[in-house]
Amino acid sequence: MLAPYTTLGLGGPARAYEEATTAEELVSLVAEADRRGEPTLILGGGSNLVVSDEGFDGLVVKVATRGVTVSRDGGQVVVEAEAGEDWDPLVARAVAEGWSGLECMSGIPGLVGSTPIQNVGAYGQEVAHTVRCVRVFDRRTREVADVEARRCGFSYRDSAFKRDLGRYVVLGVTFALDVSETSGPLTYQELVNRVGERAALGEVREAVLGLRRGKGMVLDPADPDSRSAGSFFTNPIVSAEQAAALGDGSPRFDMPDGSVKVPAAWLIEQAGFPKGYTRGPVRISTKHTLALTNPHGRGTTADLIALAREVRDGVLAKFGVTLVNEPVMVGCAL
């Protein structure tokens, strides 16, 4: 069963399962499965994954590679991390060592290899700001390549890897971080309200962890709200005209191209889905409207998808805005 490998605790069986402890082994397992024509699912930390109740009829390859290499390049530290490294311990090390650029992404679950695919970000930082290159196995060309940041196609919660999902297997990520005990300028108002526009890295990390815990976004066996895939919907980016139609009370963030980002959580709440809204054994988090949870472990993926569709359709009916799921769907869809 794949359920134990996901933070939602949902998902049926896999036909076959292998664990890759080196990049070479990861490439070999995927390449051999491709030669056999066998469907393959690359499994990281399972924190951004929704697997169907039927499971996966193919080979699941668990990424368990380890290793971090550090070097200096002028005023920066270059950190090369294997895809199977846990993300938050890497952030904690960066903060402890005085490497600035990852601190606002403290507490995000999952593995390093997943971060460039989703262009993971929080509280004003994205990995796109510090990624120097991403090492991948290209399943189409069957070659290992280093993709420079400018070729990664990063945008809000998106990348070239996500847009061609399944083609690339991330083997490792290289970050370029500033040597500084203090954060860069902080822009996310909720965080600025706690620590100011600049703060010591450790202070920023603790503030972010506190904010995330308050939203059930730090994995904690004692917190049923943390049994989720994080934010289930991305914040929609709409035209200025669409944003104006939402009314003067709607929060919004102007984008450089003239479009407007609207908080999905606000749309969900205004459409009649408050925190704690329940559908059978699953519910919207009691702490954060964007998280759909399986709080007691008794739900099914079908239950979760039904709740997600209800929320999506309700927002569409009220505002004419279609919410898009953030987690990767395996064997299921909204």
Instruction: Please give the pLDDT value at position 250.
Output: 82
Tokens coding 223: 């917190």
From first to last of its 334 residues, the chain has per-residue pLDDT tens of 999 999 999 999 999 999 999 999 999 999 999 999 999 999 999 999 999 999 999 999 999 999 999 999 988 999 999 999 999 999 999 999 999 999 999 999 999 999 999 999 999 999 999 999 999 999 999 999 999 999 999 998 899 999 998 999 999 999 999 999 999 999 999 999 999 999 999 999 999 999 999 999 999 999 999 999 999 999 999 898 888 888 877 888 888 888 999 999 999 999 999 999 999 999 999 999 999 999 999 999 999 999 999 999 999 999 999 999 999 999 999 9
Residue pair 235/266 in contact (Cβ under 8 Å)? The answer is: no
Instruction: Please give the pLDDT value at position 252.
Output: 86
Q: Count CB-CB contacts under 10 A for residue 282.
A: 27
Instruction: Please give the pLDDT value at position 132.
Output: 98
Instruction: Determine the Cα angle at 126 with ends 124 and 127, to 5°.
Output: 155
Nearest Cα to 166, choosing from 187, 147, 139?
A: 139
User: What tens digit of pLDDT does each residue of 81-93 get?
Assistant: 999 999 999 999 9
Instruction: Please give the pLDDT value at position 94.
Output: 98
Residue 61: strand pairing partners: 18, 42
Q: What CA–CA distances, in Å, run from 149 to 141, 154, 171, 175, 311?
A: 20, 8, 15, 10, 35
Instruction: Please give the pLDDT value at position 249.
Output: 79
Full-model pTM: 0.90
Q: Count CB-CB contacts under 10 A for residue 274.
A: 10
Tokens 């709409």, residue located: 238
Residue pair 173/111 in contact (Cβ under 8 Å)? The answer is: no
Judged on CB neighbours under 10 Å (0-12, 13-18, 19+), 59 is buried
Which residues are known to be catalytic? 157, 231, 326
Residue pair 104/124 in contact (Cβ under 8 Å)? The answer is: yes
Q: What is the spatial order of strands in the sheet that 237-238 belongs to?
A: 237-238, 260-261, 253-254
Instruction: Please give the pLDDT value at position 256.
Output: 86
What mean pLDDT value characterizes the chain? 95
The H or E element that residue 213 is part of is helix 201-214
**Which residue spans within the chain are E strands per DSSP?**
14-20, 40-43, 49-51, 56-63, 68-73, 76-82, 99-100, 121-122, 125-126, 131-138, 143-148, 168-179, 228-231, 237-238, 253-254, 260-261, 278-279, 282-284, 291-293, 328-330
Judged on CB neighbours under 10 Å (0-12, 13-18, 19+), 298 is exposed
Cα 35 from Cα 33, distance rounded (Å):
5
Helices (H), 215-300: 240-245, 264-270
Residue pair 65/26 in contact (Cβ under 8 Å)? The answer is: yes
* Helix, strand, or coil (residue 215): coil
User: What tens digit of pLDDT does each residue of 203-251 get?
Assistant: 999 999 999 999 999 999 999 999 999 999 999 998 988 888 888 778 8
Nearest Cα to 209, choosing from 295, 100, 95?
A: 95
Instruction: Please give the pLDDT value at position 330.
Output: 96
Tokens coding 320: 């004419």
